[in-house]
Amino acid sequence: MNATVFFTLQEVDGAVLQDHTAVVIDVLRASSTIVAALAAGAQAIYPVVSTEEAIKLATSLGREDALLAGERRGLKVEGFDLGNSPREFTPEMVGGKRVVMTTTNGTRALLAVDGAEHVLVASFLNLSAVAAACADAERLAVVCAGREGRFSIDDTLCAGMLLSRLKERLGGTLEVEDAGRSALALAEAFGVDDALLADSAAGRSLAEVGMLDDVAWCGRVDVEELVPKLKERIIQRADGGGS
């Protein structure tokens, strides 16, 4: 396997990913929230860029079973049903529902890799399940959402841990370039560290809006087996499970 890491979604611009499996990571919090939503029985997630697009799509899907979710500056968008805290995505709230979602970086990253052969969503919550799902790929693109064009340590740490899981499986047949080697080194140096996540730029922003509890929640490793897969702009469980 040849694995490339992109530290920000902006780096993906212009990259040719048609023959790649892309894994998108936005630990704090979009990719963790997508995993939480599908684990809670949401039927599908529809990632979109703007709030206007979200409202339009939810209306056309039918507001009786399509929920609007997302954040701006970490807070729920006015008039939406849900924000972007994974803890809000309970079976009571999202079971059997379609969720139209817009977030600052995460949903943009997903749409930026829409041209890849396969697109999977990873977080600490489902790390080993994603590693197993992409272990046979010949070309892997690990795309960190980052924060408005900047490097984010939480996403890169998760990318490094994914590569480390793949290294355990594939040994010397895993080839990584400089960005991937740096992500691996970060993972080897820190592992998942709640203090490091809380002190990341994303962690500090969440603390500012009173959502620090989301950080430790998203820092739990391998608590879900499911792999979200994006196809034709719709995210569902790769195993077809759930409702």
Residues in contact with ligand MLT by CB under 6 A are: 26, 29-30, 71, 74, 84, 103-106, 145
Q: Closer to ligand MLT at the Cβ: 104 or 236?
A: 104
The residue among 139, 133, 154, 137 whose CA lies nearest residue 221 is 154
Return the number of the residue (109 or 134) whose C-beta is nearest ligand MLT.
Answer: 109
CB of 7 to ligand MLT, least distance (A): 15
Residue 101 near residue 69 (C-beta atoms within 8 A): yes
Taking the C-alpha atoms of residue 113 and residue 22, their distance in angstroms, rounded to an integer, is 7
Q: In the complex with ligand MLT, which residue's Cβ is closer, 12 or 166?
A: 12
Q: How far is the CB of 238 from ligand MLT (least distance, A)?
A: 21
Output the smallest distance, CB 16 to ligand MLT, in A: 25
Nearest-approach distance from CB 104 to ligand MLT, in angstroms = 3
Rounded-to-integer distance, Cα 132 and Cα 69, Å: 29
Residue 73: CB atoms within 10 Å: 9
Phi/psi-derived region of residue 232, left when phi > 0, alpha when psi is between -120 and 50, beta in every other case:
left
Q: Are 214 and 86 in contact (CB under 8 A)?
A: yes
Please, what is the minimum distance in Å from the beta carbon of residue 74 to ligand MLT? 4
Nearer to ligand MLT, 24 or 186 (CB): 24
> Which of 106, 55, 80, 75 minimizes the C-alpha distance to 235?
106
Q: Identify the H or E element spanning 99.
A: strand 98-102
CB nearer to ligand MLT: pick between 33 and 167: 33
Q: Please give the structure tokens belonging to residue 223.
A: 């608590």
- State in angstroms the smallest separation of the CB of 15 from ligand MLT: 20
Q: CA-CA distance, 215 to 198, in Å (whole number)?
A: 6
Of 124 and 167, nearer to ligand MLT (C-beta) is 124
